[in-house]
Amino acid sequence: MSDIMHHTLYDGRRVAFRYTHGRGPCLVFLPGYMSDMSGSKATALFAEAQAQGRACLLLDYSGCGASDGDFADGMLSRWRDEVLALVASYVSGPVLLVGSSMGGWLMLLVAEHLKHRLAGMIGIAPAPDFTRWGYTEAQRTQLLAGETIYEPNPYGPEPTPIHASFFADAECHVRLEGGIDITCPVRLLHGKADEVVPWDVSLRLKSALRSDDVQVTLIEDGDHRLSRDSDIAALKAIVAEFYG
């Protein structure tokens, strides 16, 4: 990870990223909530891009990983704008968006601004609208009241915080309740043993998208992370479809 670079935004925020030149489309990987570009799927796709001579961009949202900022200030709008700033500054030509979990929601928001440049989208256990279906009414009431809630973290000892500012912003970006005006090819990969994001969310996303080329691949014993060697091999195979 020694090749990490930083991009400075208009307000002085420095966003960490990795970029490798190559033939397009440029794969842009969007991590999940409280995740970063050091994750197994991101690093595997970056290494594969380098080996195959493909362009690839990884990034850490502000408040995450090697980027500046406080995670408590993070929200979909803010992170969407960071992704768009990096794409505008470093990527030429078509873009292949790959979003994991929350990154699959953010992927939709980024795609709405890059329609003319989209080669396709790949969602890995995508979680659009998780503030609607992922919390109880009691939790939503707390968040609406400006409170921070904490959820059990299956991947570490510290609970996962959900801040009221993130929730309020996310409520402005609900997408599954109407048609999503994105028409590029879309591939969705989801584990049927996912205990974090129900696999039917991918089916709902397929129905909401206006694209006539959406394929859902369900992995019978796959969990939410989809980070086993076999899962990553399946992901690489899907990515390869976009390079012919």
What are 50-90's pLDDT values in tens digits? 999 999 999 999 999 999 999 999 999 999 999 999 999 99
What are 100-146's pLDDT values in tens digits? 999 999 999 999 999 999 999 999 999 999 999 999 999 999 999 99
Arithmetic mean of pLDDT over the chain: 96
pLDDT of 155: 75
Give the pairing type, strands 14-20 and 5-8: antiparallel
Q: Which of 163, 190, 224, 231 is catalytic?
A: 224
Is the preceding omega at residue 25 within 30 degrees of 0, hence cis?
A: yes
Domain CATH for 33 = 3.40.50.1820
Cα–Cα distance for residue pair 221/231, rounded to 1 Å: 10
Active-site residue 101, yes or no?
yes
> Is the pLDDT score of 16 beyond 90?
yes
Tell me how many domains the chain contains.
Answer: 1
Question: What angle (nearest 5°) sits at the alpha carbon of residue 136, between those of residues 158 and 225?
Answer: 50
pLDDT of 2: 54
Q: Calculate what percentage of the chain has a pLDDT beyond 70.
A: 99
Q: Which of 101, 163, 202, 231 is catalytic?
A: 101
Q: Which of 169, 194, 202, 231 is catalytic?
A: 194
Q: Which string of DSSP letters, residue by residue, matches 93-104?
A: S-EEEEEETHHH
Domain limits at 163? 5-240
Active-site residue 173, yes or no?
no
